[in-house]
Amino acid sequence: MKLHLGCGKRRFEGFINIDLHDSDHDCDIRKLPFDSDSADEIVAIHVCEHFYIHDILDVIKEWRRVLKPDGVMVLELPCLDKVLMHFHNGSPENMTLWPLYGDPRTHKDGEPALHKWCWSIEQFGQLLKIAGFDKIKYETPHYHQPTRDMRWVCTK
């Protein structure tokens, strides 16, 4: 089983696409309705920034719970280190303010679209270790903006 968490309108072929509404499986991704050790892969692209800093560790631990041993979790999210460089270079809002607060075009329904935190590479890497991952790779992002975002591939 492969899970695409926080899918929004984007669907990944071969995955159970999960979000709060209008997905293959509607649910709150903070508490997944799947057995422990049941998923081969979990992907969450631009989802982690929608959680408060005091909630994200429990969320990541929950996702790890569902992964099978040797299961892979792929996360992409805005990178504070890169965003700060974009601010310094005078880059446009989609490279500076949007990663911090969210794209204002998606705020039609208010709170759910807002970003709640932006992590540095070091901070998020430490978070993954604390959550129980020991096989962690930092990679170039495949989605959105590679010069602004970060990608983590973790194996349980």
Q: What Rg do the C-alpha atoms of the chain give, in angstroms?
A: 15
- Residue spans per domain, the chain: 2-77+120-155
Q: Is 9 helix (H, G, I), strand (E, B) or coil?
A: coil
Question: pLDDT tens digits, residue range 12-49?
Answer: 999 999 999 899 999 999 999 999 999 999 999 999 99
Question: pLDDT tens digits, residue range 112-131?
Answer: 578 999 999 999 999 999 99
End-to-end Cα spacing for the chain? 15
Q: Where are the alpha helices (DSSP H) in the chain?
A: 53-66, 80-88, 97-101, 121-130
This prediction's pTM: 0.94
Question: pLDDT tens digits, residue range 2-18?
Answer: 999 999 889 999 999 99
Homologous superfamily of 2-77+120-155: Vaccinia Virus protein VP39 (3.40.50.150)
